Amino acid sequence: MEQDLSLDRFERVALKTIAALPDPFRAPAREVLLRVANLPDRDLLADLEMDDPLELTGLYDGIPMTEKSVFDFGGPPDTVWIFREPILAEWRERGNVRLDDLIAHVVIHEYAHHFGWTDAEIAAVDPWWE
């Protein structure tokens, strides 16, 4: 049976991961726009000075909560991007992790940027980091 590798699956796993965040983080995480795409676009890669789109599995675009001020409201929404093709490439290369676990890991990592988490805080919700 062929495995579901669709964008919809990536979004479902990402939303499930967000719903499983600890209580103090769940509601603020839901305020971040979640975008799932096949690949980062050329302009984004150029802004990040990257050439290979398969090197970027996810991205947080915004101001971390620990750095926000009242003057930061009204701008573009904080956004977490999850990129399907780079995650699939890493999954195939590793060969020893479940796809859903890798997707969840990328989601946690990107939301960690939003929350300004330390590695210890990430490890509390993502065993990947232990």
How many Å apart are CA 77 and CA 114, to the nearest integer?
12
Which CATH number is 7-129 given?
3.30.2010.20
Q: How far apart are CA 20 and CA 14, in angstroms?
A: 10
Tokens of 65: 């909560």
User: What separation, in Å, do the N-terminal and C-terminal C-alpha atoms of the chain show?
Assistant: 33
Higher pLDDT, 34 or 22: 34
Rounded mean pLDDT of 55-65? 90
Confidence of residue 24 (pLDDT cuts 50, 70, 90): confident
Q: Please say if the pLDDT value at position 119 is more than 90.
A: no
